[in-house]
Amino acid sequence: MSNRRTFLKTLGLSSASFVLGVSSFAKGNAVVNMTTDPLSLALEINPFIVIQPSGQITLINPRPDMGQGSTQAVPSLLAEELEVSLDQVTIAQSDGKGKYGNQTSGGSSSVRALWTPIRQAGAAAKEMLIKAAAQRWSVPESECYVEKAKVIHRPSGKSLTYGEVADDASKLEIPKNPKLKDAKDFKIIGKYAPRLDVPARVTGKAVYGIDVEVPGMVYAVMLHSPMIHGKVVSIDDSEALKIKGVQKVLKCERPMPHRTSEAVAIIADNYWAALSAKKAVKVQWDNGTLGQTLTTAAYFKKCAEAATKEGLKAEEEGDFAATFGAAAKKLEAVYETPFLAHAPMEPENAIAHIKDDGTAEVWAPIQGPDWALRDLAGYLKIKPEQIKINVALLGGAFGRKAYHDFLLEACFLSKDVKKPVKLVWTREDDITQGPYRPGMMARMQGGVDAKGNIVAYHHHPIGESIQFQVFKAPSNKPDDWVCGELSQKEQKYNIPAFKISYTHVPTEIPIVWWRSVYASNFGFSQEGFFDELAHAANKDPLKARLELMSDARFKKVLETLAEKANWGEKLPAGQGKGIAIFKSFGSISACCVTVAKQGTGVKIEKVVSVIDCGHYVNPDNVKAQTEGNIVMGITAAVKKGITFTNGQSDHTNFHQYQVMRMNEMPKVEIHIVESGAEPGGVGEPGLPPIAPALANAVFAATGKRIRRLPFDLNTLA
Amino acid sequence: MAAITLDINGKKHDLDIDPKMPLLWAIRDVVGLKGTKFGCGMAQCGACTVHMNGHPTRSCVLPVQSVVGSKITTIEGIGTEENLHPVQKAWIDEQVPQCGYCQSGQIMAAAALLKDKPTPTDADITSAMQGHICRCGTYDRIRKAIHTAAKSKSPKGEMSGGK
Ligand code: FES
Ligand code: FES
């Protein structure tokens, strides 16, 4: 027993539940403890199932929920194998400790990574519960089955609840090869079910990071350098300190992976006082030459120069130079995509408490408690065991909340004021400070032979790299996160001469992954340029793709799209349709956009999206995520990107950095291809095909080729 | 600082706060009702929407001194999980929220719309809701849910809380 008690204590479950608003743990028994499960050790994650004598079943969920539905998807995997209903599983969020393995919601990975291990954990627990009950009854296990959290003895009809046999079961050996259910017997996976967290989210009861309060905390507001990497020369806080409730104004820092910037913070009794003081503080910044160097124009100029030269070769099938050289028609083009802010509706925020004994506790809406633990330990120079992380619900994230500058800022401040500090970024901080989706360029080359076959293709991404800026990888080789995804093996275009290159162009503008990462940049260049090649070959863009693709899943997605979007139909004058297909995060997604000419521009009439994500948990959530991807994908294509002039962002809040709203919503239709393949991602793959399909539709309707995002729907410029 | 009395969800709160403090921060940090959200602080996103005497209002730009004597209703005041407002129920039926952060504001705007126009057209819905940003992209479901709520109303046409 003592072991189990220690286990629960280490988890600190009661306070985790305080933050997350899940029902709290009694000081009960951890009955099925999967920590030593050899299966899990061999796999990526190490989940915990806790069954208490009361019958309460708890899953320690290793993937924070930012709106993508992990708090339904993950327990569904467990409930399916354990033969319980979803409302019988309580969820606690993991705290970043190594024993839980990878805990980051990112890369559309939750279901993909947990599909096997969580089901195995559930199946193993089920076998152990059956065995324990059979032993108690002295009957063969084969005479027992489970249903609704009970073990039932078939011949006699007697039963025991999971809670009643949990303690006995915990003493049994964990089966190494528990039998998993056949997909045809699934009762939960693949079926519609309402998400159980929705009621809390519509009644104002869901507790997001920004809603957490801890005793004794003070509020903090950051005054970041408008030029991001400016240095603090002097601070005049005389007016600010006159504001009631303002406690302190101090010089502090913003730690980013590639460098630490100087900043100023205001500490106050309440957030409003801190915000008011922010306007009253006068800071003199030393901006050095940032006015010239920290601009998006300077960065894209360097990218454009790189686009006139060869890059580092990442892949080559066939002989590109020879085939391209001999092609009857040669096409060359440069595509460009802007920097973008994530702008989750909940701004970045965190509470940090650095205690007198040197230990630290934080509460924050973060995507990966495991990464946060690593970053906190490194920054505070203490051991992971001295850090406690409480993950709160995330009010959107899209990649932003896996970057921990705001969390480390709060730590710096708490260390200084020796109290828990609640830091809340303003929307202006969020939009002007980054990190951003990197702006990128792509040089494209392609050749069509005399018979009209697309025979040569070269995709050459150019720009800053997350791998290099954030993870400091050596930059003398191609970024394989960029190039791997674009490879022929992934995208399935059987073009005889197929080449991928890369050129790294550094920038000091902070960057990080953004929903679908590079696929959001290079899905546009790949699919926009393919449309150009198809037209050069005098081929229908859909048929041109089908001709080159032999992969059955890609073909099925395209054929489904053709049917659902009525691809061959005759369109009224002034309308045009465009398509695109892209594989990312293990799923294949294609879409068809219909536009109609309107004045000097176009109006988006309809978007039909098709996704093959293999096995999925809840079809409604697949659709919801794809709807979100359509909205974010259109926003990224037609709303202003982030630009830096004179060293600072040209946009500060939603009045300038505009996002799509309801009045701009086209008709939307989503179809899932049931391939029964291994699960793919759902949170991101719907996004990459949107912008190119839209640009291709604009070409079909107007003859204007869009190679640079964003473009204005009203003017097509 | 000044003594300010606010009427929130039918309850009087005597607060000693800066009269210029926006209602949003008084509701969240002083009264402690966290359902109303901060999204932009400049009347651009709608996350902070509450009802002032029944009308949808951006609380992030509204100084508390200007709402003294008005009836303020927040998301917590229109329904609870046990006694849902028809709009909240429709939001569950249509599974509207993703992250859910914008939804308090969306629901407050939708509830006010339906009180005004019990059977809104698509155009009515667009004009009432286009001031509200949902970065997760739930616009289509919001529209559906408003139609669902309109159909589900009691025969008397009351948009009262619960059933
Ligand atoms: S926070 Fe008030 S409108 Fe955005
Ligand atoms: S549901 Fe996430 S912002 Fe609307």
Three-state DSSP state, A168 = helix
Listed residues A175, A203, A231: the one ending a domain:
A203
Interface contact A655-B44, CB threshold 8 A: yes
Do A182 and A246 reside in the same domain of the chain? no
With beta carbons less than 8 A apart as the criterion, state whether A597 and A715 touch. no
**For chain A, how many structural domains are there in total?**
3
From residue A327, give the alpha-carbon distance in Å to each of A324, A334, A450, A454.
5, 19, 7, 9
Secondary structure (DSSP) of A19-38: HHTPPPPPS----S-GGG-H
Contacting residues of B for A668, CB less than 8 Å apart:
140
Do A64 and A199 reside in the same domain of the chain? yes
Contacting residues of A for B30, CB less than 8 Å apart:
270
**Six token digits for residue A225:** 């350098």
Query: Looking at residue A239, what is its pLDDT?
Result: 98
Q: Is residue A709 part of a domain?
A: no
**Six token digits for residue A102:** 């990878």
Chain A stretch 64-83, residues whose beta carbon is closer than 8 A to a beta carbon of chain B: 66-69
B39 inside 8 A of chain A by CB? yes
What is the 8-class DSSP label of residue B27?
I
Q: Find, in chain B, the residue whose alpha carbon is nearest to that of A207.
A: B34
Overall average pLDDT of the A130-159 stretch: 97
C-alpha to C-alpha distance for B56 and A75, rounded to whole angstroms: 38
Side chain identity, residue A108 = S
Domains in chain B with CATH codes: 2-76 (3.10.20.30), 86-150 (1.10.150.120)
Secondary structure (DSSP) of A2-69: HHHHHHHHHHTHHHHHHHHTPPPPPS----S-GGG-HHHHHSSB--EEEE-TT--EEEEE-S--SSS-
Q: Is residue A97 part of a domain?
A: yes
Size of interface A-B (CB pairs under 8 A): 182
C-alpha to C-alpha distance for A558 and A549, rounded to whole angstroms: 10
Say whether pLDDT at A697 is over 80.
yes
From residue A589, give the alpha-carbon distance in Å to each of A57, A554, A582, A608, A683.
36, 9, 6, 11, 12
Secondary structure (DSSP) of A340-388: B----SS--EEEEEE-TTS-EEEEE--S-HHHHHHHHHHHHT--GGGEE
pLDDT band (50, 70, 90) for residue B154: low
Overall average pLDDT of the A442-450 stretch: 98
With beta carbons less than 8 A apart as the criterion, state whether A611 and A622 touch. yes
Q: How far is the CA of B96 from the centre of ligand 2 (A)?
A: 9
Identify whether A435 is preceded by a cis peptide bond (ω within 30 of 0).
Answer: yes
Do A213 and A193 reside in the same domain of the chain? no
Nearest to A216 by CA among A361, A369, A81, A322: A361
**Helices and strands (H, E) in chain A, number of each type:** 22, 26
Do A176 and A220 reside in the same domain of the chain? no
Query: Looking at residue A279, what is its pLDDT?
Result: 97
- The count of C-alpha atoms lying within 13 angstroms of the C-alpha of A337, restricted to the half-sphere facing its C-beta, is 33
Q: CA A61, A63, A68: angle at the middle one, nearest 5?
A: 120
With beta carbons less than 8 A apart as the criterion, state whether A66 and A367 touch. yes
Other CB atoms within 10 Å distance of the CB of residue A233: 11
Test mutation, A18, A201, A210, A275, chain B, max B CBs within 10 A: A201
Do A387 and A406 reside in the same domain of the chain? yes
C-alpha to C-alpha distance for A31 and A24, rounded to whole angstroms: 17
C-alpha to C-alpha distance for A691 and A102, rounded to whole angstroms: 32
B129 inside 8 A of chain A by CB? yes
Chain A stretch 228-257, residues whose beta carbon is closer than 8 A to a beta carbon of chain B: 244
With beta carbons less than 8 A apart as the criterion, state whether A93 and A71 touch. no
The response to whether residue B48 sits with its C-beta less than 6 Å from ligand 1 reads yes
Do A275 and A185 reside in the same domain of the chain? no
With beta carbons less than 8 A apart as the criterion, state whether A216 and B39 touch. no
Q: Are strands A497-504 and A454-463 parallel, antiparallel or unpaired?
A: parallel
Q: How far is the CA of B137 from the centre of ligand 2 (A)?
A: 7
- Averaged confidence pLDDT in chain A: 91
A202 inside 8 A of chain B by CB? yes
Query: Looking at residue A49, what is its pLDDT?
Result: 81
Please state the atom number of ligand 1 nearest to the C-alpha of residue B48.
2
- Phi/psi of residue B73, each to 5°? -125, 130
Query: Looking at residue A59, what is its pLDDT?
Result: 87
The response to whether residue B41 sits with its C-beta less than 6 Å from ligand 1 reads yes
Three-state DSSP state, A452 = coil
Query: Sheet of A48-51: strands edge to edge?
Result: A48-51, A57-61, A89-93
Do A408 and A466 reside in the same domain of the chain? no
Three-state DSSP state, A116 = helix
Identify whether A710 is preceded by a cis peptide bond (ω within 30 of 0).
Answer: yes
With beta carbons less than 8 A apart as the criterion, state whether A233 and A284 touch. yes
Radius of gyration of chain A (CA): 27
Say whether pLDDT at A655 is over 90.
yes
Q: Is residue A708 part of a domain?
A: no
Is pLDDT larger for residue A199 or for residue A90?
A199
With beta carbons less than 8 A apart as the criterion, state whether A211 and A346 touch. no
Partners of A145 in the β-ladder: A152
Q: Is residue A715 part of a domain?
A: no
Please state the atom number of ligand 1 nearest to the C-alpha of residue B39.
1
The response to whether residue A69 sits with its C-beta less than 6 Å from ligand 2 reads no
Strand ranges for A80-179 from DSSP E: 89-93, 144-147, 150-153, 159-161
- Give tens-digit pLDDT for A657-679: 999 999 999 999 999 999 999 99
Crossing angle of helices B86-93/B103-116, nearest 10°?
A: 120
Interface contact A661-B131, CB threshold 8 A: yes
From residue A577, give the alpha-carbon distance in Å to each of A63, A412, A676, A691, A694.
38, 53, 30, 13, 8
Secondary structure (DSSP) of A384-402: GGGEEEEEPB-S--TTGGG
Q: How far is the CA of B50 from the centre of ligand 1 (A)?
A: 11
Alpha carbon dihedral A221, B104, A397, A254, in 10-degree steps, equals 0
pTM: 0.93
We report the CATH number of the domain holding residue A583 as: 3.30.365.10
Listed residues A203, A234, A256: the one ending a domain:
A203
Q: Find, in chain B, the residue whose alpha carbon is nearest to that of A348.
A: B39
Q: Rounded to a whole number, what is the distance in Å from the CA of B98 to chain A's nearest CA?
A: 4
Q: Rounded to a whole number, what is the distance in Å from the CA of A683 to chain B's nearest CA?
A: 11
Q: Are strands A440-448 and A454-463 parallel, antiparallel or unpaired?
A: antiparallel
The response to whether residue B75 sits with its C-beta less than 6 Å from ligand 1 reads no
Q: Is residue A555 part of a domain?
A: yes
The beta-carbon neighbor of B44 closest among A205, A393, A654 is A654
Please state the atom number of ligand 1 nearest to the C-alpha of residue B59.
2
Q: Is residue A717 part of a domain?
A: no
Alpha carbon dihedral A227, A230, A233, A238, in 10-degree steps, equals 40
Ligand with minimal distance to B48 CA:
1
Which of A481-490, A655-664, B53-62, B146-155 shows the lowest mean pLDDT across its residues? B146-155
Q: Max Cα separation, chain B?
A: 48
Please state the atom number of ligand 2 nearest to the C-alpha of residue B137.
4
What is the 8-class DSSP label of residue A275?
H
Do A217 and A93 reside in the same domain of the chain? no
Query: Looking at residue A47, what is its pLDDT?
Result: 52
Answer positive or negative: Cα dihedral of A121, A124, A128, A129: positive
Which one of B28, B58, B101 would you pick to mutate in the ligand 1 pocket, going by the greatest count of ligand atoms within 8 A of its CB?
B58
A627 inside 8 A of chain B by CB? yes
Chain B stretch 44-103, residues whose beta carbon is closer than 8 A to a beta carbon of chain A: 44-45, 47, 74-76, 79-81, 84, 88, 91-92, 95-103
Say whether pLDDT at A222 is over 50.
yes
Tell me: ipTM over 0.90: yes
- Give tens-digit pLDDT for A77-86: 999 999 999 9
Q: Find, in chain B, the residue whose alpha carbon is nearest to that of A684.
A: B136
Listed residues A424, A450, A482: the one ending a domain:
A424
Q: Is residue A324 part of a domain?
A: yes
Partners of A271 in the β-ladder: none
Secondary structure (DSSP) of B71-100: EEE-HHHH--SSS--HHHHHHHHTT--SS-
Do A127 and A255 reside in the same domain of the chain? no
Say whether pLDDT at B158 is over 90.
no
Interface contact A203-B81, CB threshold 8 A: yes
Test mutation, A196, A203, A242, A422, chain B, max B CBs within 10 A: A203
Overall average pLDDT of the A36-55 stretch: 49
pLDDT band (50, 70, 90) for residue A359: very high
Query: Looking at residue A62, what is its pLDDT?
Result: 86
Query: Looking at residue A29, what is its pLDDT?
Result: 25
Do A242 and A302 reside in the same domain of the chain? no
The beta-carbon neighbor of B25 closest among A68, A271, A393 is A271
Q: How far is the CA of B40 from the centre of ligand 1 (A)?
A: 5
The response to whether residue B39 sits with its C-beta less than 6 Å from ligand 1 reads yes
CA nearest ligand 1 atom 3, residue: B43
Which of A83-97, A335-349, A643-657 shows the lowest mean pLDDT across its residues? A83-97
Say whether pLDDT at A7 is over 80.
no
Q: Is residue A711 part of a domain?
A: no
Do A276 and A332 reside in the same domain of the chain? no
The residue assigned the tokens 């990080």 is A512
Overall average pLDDT of the A268-281 stretch: 97
- Give tens-digit pLDDT for A578-617: 999 999 999 999 999 999 999 999 999 999 999 999 999 9
Chain mean position to CA A385: 27
Range of the domain at A556: 296-340+436-702
Say whether pLDDT at A642 is over 50.
yes
B21 inside 8 A of chain A by CB? yes
Interface contact A662-B97, CB threshold 8 A: no
Other CB atoms within 10 Å distance of the CB of residue A72: 22
Strand ranges for A464-600 from DSSP E: 497-504, 575-584, 587-598
Do A618 and A519 reside in the same domain of the chain? yes
H/E stretch holding B139: helix B139-152
Say whether pLDDT at A439 is over 70.
yes
